[in-house]
Structure 1
Amino acid sequence: MIELDIQYASEAADLPTQPQLLHWVTTALNGAKQTEPVELTIRIVDAEEGQALNRDYRQRDYATNVLSFPFDADIELPVQLLGDLVICAPVVAREASEQQKLLLAHWAHMVVHGCLHLLGYDHIDDDDAVTMESLEIAIMAELGFANPYPDELH
């Protein structure tokens, strides 16, 4: 079971629907073999909020595509709180255009990518990047989308 809280804090056009977001999250978690009930939040923001969060939490003064905030609790909870994803709508739209990707496919990729970060996957070193990106490619294929990393060897 997945409990997904979706917060639309952007007036951007062409935002994914709640059913689309839930489908992408479910497929990402299934692809990563997450079987426990989980709860997470996706907040879709504009550039100003995205930049402020990136600056305050990562010391990078620009809006980025997706930020993940894993939840870390020292107590036992009835459901696993994965954390929060913050996705910046104008950055996703700009990147999709620049990379000549379908906007919907790029949205799906940002959700998948963020979910994997919440589960502890990372891409800081090359070995971890290969593991995470290979899983992203498989999940995106399951969703019916092309490889989000077509210029890299996998």
Structure 2
Amino acid sequence: MADSARAAKLAQRIKVIVAEGLRRRVKDPRVEGVTVTDARVTNDLQHATVYYTVLGDDTAQADAKVGLEKARGVLRQEVGKNVTVRLTPTLEFVADEIPVNAGHLEDLIRTAKARDAEVAAIAQGATFAGDADPYKKDDDGAEADDDGAQTQEK
């Protein structure tokens, strides 16, 4: 069983090898817009998950998924040539959800800013419901506590 630091190093190496392999060896036009974003390797170094994004619409993403599945053997062969592990890990390709999540977060931030602007507009002409200074003070400037004891104001 390998340690997680070695698995992380191997994952970064696999990420680079797969990206280079897509650029150099795979001639499928369906994978031209693919960007490898991350790779994860299990601690036993047997399985690698490669995360990718695709520029384009849903059909381009579906085509890229098919193209990557078709090129899996060539890319695994490239990984086997370029890493020094006893067994070449199997490759699994997963579409990265980071762009979708980032878009969702941007929508939430935009909504929060709009609500903040509404609250600021409402508060612009607002006045206090009671006194401007709700803390009761004696004539000598000391605040009165709930138990009646007086404290000196600083």
TM-score normalised by L of structure 2: 0.30
CA radius of gyration, larger in: 2
Q: Relative contact order (C-alpha < 8 Å, sep 6+): which is higher?
A: 1
